[in-house]
Structure 1
Amino acid sequence: MTPGTTPATPPVIEGFTYRRVPVADGVSLSVAVGGSGPPIVLLHGFPQTHLMWRHVAADLAADHTVICPDLRGYGASDKPAETGGSTYSKRTMAADVVEVARALGHDRFALAGHDRGALVAFRAGLDHPDTITHLACLDVLPTLDMWDVLHGVTAAVGFHLYLMAQPPGLPEELIAGAPDAFFGYFLDIWTNDPQAIPADVRAAYLDACRSAVPSIVADYRASAGVDVDHDRADLDTGNRLKMPVAVLQQDWGSALGFDAAALWSAWAPDLRHTPVTCGHFMAEEAPAETAKALRDLLAR
């Protein structure tokens, strides 16, 4: 497939049905639903859509109701204009997820997120402890910890965080000037196995990002603003994750100079932290290991 082209037939998660679910005034999310049994919601990361869960979702759907939304501002979901810091705060996006589950008949559910979706899941666990039964976060640090550990030359790995934290205008203009090069860069450098993201899926990711530059930037901008305020308030008041938590993280070793398990333990008393030997996109590069980790979490 030629780079920069839109797939003729966008890929889907086979066997799942697709619907639009209203979550707030004028905002609906595109949601894929499959299987039957206890519910689990899977949230995608950057620069992806719900398709990143295609292998894991199919596995879990054998005995669970699996719900895979595109986050607000991503994929086929609505992309409201940023009006103040709360439009794309993780608190707002977490409320979207809770509303999706309720609309589908689930007042309590397990929740797993990768990357940006993990930050939404983390916030949902703090804000809705009676709703989230189990929580999994894949290859991310809580927002406060992320900003704290980025310093010196090692912070270069997070250059995009600083770019998209800038006031509206310049980040959007720069990224929109070469969206496939920008988003494709992360698909390339964050994966150890390029075959894990086949050409049609990669094209779908780039197509989705190409039409969502302002909302994606707004999501990241919130993580340098209001999301920090929300996390710090929880830290100050002692609010912690009360459900069983699983964290899967790349096996960085000592390369980045911090202990990810220790950072997560401060937020999650009931934590199992598991290093995974693969690239960032573990649900695509190591789907069997990821699915097993989620099943182990659900059994706790």
Structure 2
Amino acid sequence: MSEPLEARNFFPALQRNVTPTPSGSTVVSYTSDLGDGKPILTLIHGYPQSAFIWRHITPTLLGKVSLFIPELPGYGISTPSPPSKRSVGAALLAALSTLFSGPRHVILSGHDRGARICHRLAVDAASAPPNLKIIGAFLLDIVPTKVQWDRFSDPAIARGYFHWPLLANVELAVGMLKAYGGGRWARGAFRLAGKNEEGLRRLEDGVEVYVGLFDKEEVIRGSCEDYEAGAGVDVEEQVADQREGRKIGVPTVVMFSEAGLGARMDVAREWADWVQEGVPYEAVPVGEGYGHYLPEEAHDIVSEKMISFLKEIEGVELN
């Protein structure tokens, strides 16, 4: 009998951890620690995926920077927590703080829903556990949640992201996805992949992992609750942030699919108002037909930029 997905170590070269947190969630993560004083890079996955999305990128980073790669609560491997980005982010940082000793610098990186958690944590940087200092943010293929909802007045955007309002209606969505098949639904989400043939090949082995996780009702429900928070409290917090002038205050890179998100929105302009004036910020389009799943489809391009960003952040020295 094959090992259950929730028990697998997707990264044999890393330590697999199971860490209880004050949120009530038990966070599964994969870590590599280069020792006290060395910076930690988070790699936080999105929907409808798992930490396996980082399988191509991790080998390029191993030995260069300490790594914290969590499984999102509610997505089938870590147990659920309150689903707002602030609550999930706090659970992840609590696990990180437990696993890594000493005062540490943290660079936040995430894709999709994971990038939204990183955005929240970057704005809330002053509230991080006392042994952690957030010094950078690397966000993959998103615009701020409030901006995404505002752009739904464009029919093409509303059609392309129809799953947002659907999944936010939890009870309706859970029933519909169960009837349709959670794994079948997850497979269909990869319509957001690009047209680059090599990129699509890089996705293939991952899709089967994600489909296997979404065959479980608890994953359907947990992920829908994520989207429900994204239609409620997450937006309310961002509205308050902008009204009160709370923005990202650490160096930030946003990478995005030129053929996907970049074809629908001016990503560079959208983010400019969410980063404090004078803070280094760069928006980087990824071309060549790569789509939404950049950590897999375009892992070589992402890795190169990620390593460059780490080197540019003051005080970060890579081995």
Taking structure 2 as the reference length, the TM-score comes to 0.84
Matches within 5 A, 1:4-83: 10=8, 12-34=10-32, 36=34, 37-80=38-81
Aligned pair in 2 of structure 1 residues 251, 231: CA closer, same or farther (>3 Å)? same
Instruction: Report the counterpart of residue 3 of structure 1 in structure 2.
Output: none
Q: Aligned equivalents of 2:7 and 2:89: distance in 1?
A: 30
Instruction: Report the counterpart of residue 271 of structure 1 in structure 2.
Output: 281
Is 1:289 aligned to residue 301 of structure 2? yes
Is 1:170 aligned to residue 178 of structure 2? no
CA shift for structure 1 position 188: 4.3
State the superposition RMSD in angstroms. 2.2
Matches within 5 A, 1:110-125: 110-125=107-122
* C-alpha contact (below 8 Å) 2:73/2:88 kept by paired residues: yes
* C-alpha contact (below 8 Å) 1:31/1:70 kept by paired residues: yes
Aligned length: 287
* C-alpha contact (below 8 Å) 1:110/1:133 kept by paired residues: yes
* C-alpha contact (below 8 Å) 1:113/1:138 kept by paired residues: yes
CA shift for structure 1 position 231: 0.5
Q: Aligned equivalents of 1:152 and 1:64: distance in 2?
A: 41
232-241 vs 204-213, which moves further: 204-213
CA shift for structure 1 position 100: 1.8
Instruction: Report the counterpart of residue 198 of structure 1 in structure 2.
Output: 204
CA shift for structure 1 position 54: 1.2
Instruction: Report the counterpart of residue 127 of structure 1 in structure 2.
Output: 124
Unmatched runs of 5 consecutive residues or more in structure 2: 313-319
Deviations 1:120-160 (A, max 9, x none): 00000011247311101100111111111122321100110
The 3-state SS of whatever aligns with 1:79 is coil
Q: Percent identity?
A: 26
CA shift for structure 1 position 35: 5.4
* C-alpha contact (below 8 Å) 1:7/1:203 kept by paired residues: no
Counterpart residue type for residue 153 of structure 1: P
* C-alpha contact (below 8 Å) 2:27/2:72 kept by paired residues: yes
Taking structure 1 as the reference length, the TM-score comes to 0.89
CA shift for structure 1 position 247: 0.3
Deviations 1:173-198 (A, max 9, x none): 11122112211001244243321123
Runs of 4+ aligned residues of structure 1 deviating over 3 Å after TM superposition are 6-11, 252-255
